[in-house]
Homo-oligomer: A and B are copies of this chain.
């Protein structure tokens, strides 16, 4: 895009709107090519602004990656809250909502868990704090239902199961001859009952 045309596009955005547009383009890239496809230059190009304009909002690729992960964790927590039934004792709706989020946003989900160029910054304090907040949401939901002594193990058990299932599904590891929705439901039901005892 020529400089004059780019300036015209740039002036269409007020501060917050350009930031949102950059994040939106970043999410599209994530879903097209996974975390490694993220590029601040390509994001700027898609939004129709200069690279320096993009750098004004995000000083580095890590900065936009962390902002995208933050958006992802915020939406994930909202989805869990919306699905968590009022003390019905059912685990399945929240588990299904978590998996649905990962299936709808596989590139973003991988980024949130440090895949891609972020590997080095998995230890990033910002992303770490976001994951901790999502985990505490799981713990506080369990606290309403279980004796306090069971909560830490139950929270880790549920998180490991859900994270593992989400990754196996978005990595295409499920036996494709079965209905994924039915499989997901059966797995979460087994989280409540345990693996059947030998006959």
Residues in chain A within 8 A of chain B (CB atoms): 34, 36, 87, 89, 91, 113-115, 119, 122-123, 131, 145-147, 150, 152-154, 156-165, 167-168, 171-175, 178, 183, 186-187, 190-199
Contact = CB atoms under 8 A, between A and B. Distances in A.
A34 B113 CA distance: 15
A164 B145 CA distance: 23
B145 A198 contact: yes
A120 to B, nearest CB: 9
- The prevalent SS among residues of A at the interface is helix
Contact of A193 (B36, B162, B194, B199): B194
Contact of A164 (B160, B172, B190): B160
Contacts of A192: 194-195
Contacts of A162: 160, 164
A99 to B, nearest CB: 10
A190 B158 CA distance: 10
- This chain's copy number in the assembly: 2
Given A36-B119, A153-B187, A171-B122, A198 B89 contact: yes
10 contacts: A91-B195, A146-B198, A153-B183, A159-B164, A161-B164, A163-B164, A164-B167, A191-B195, A193-B194, A194-B194
Contact of A161 (B113, B131, B161, B171): B161
A103 B138 CA distance: 25
Nearest to A122: B171
A89 B198 CA distance: 7
A57 B77 CA distance: 48
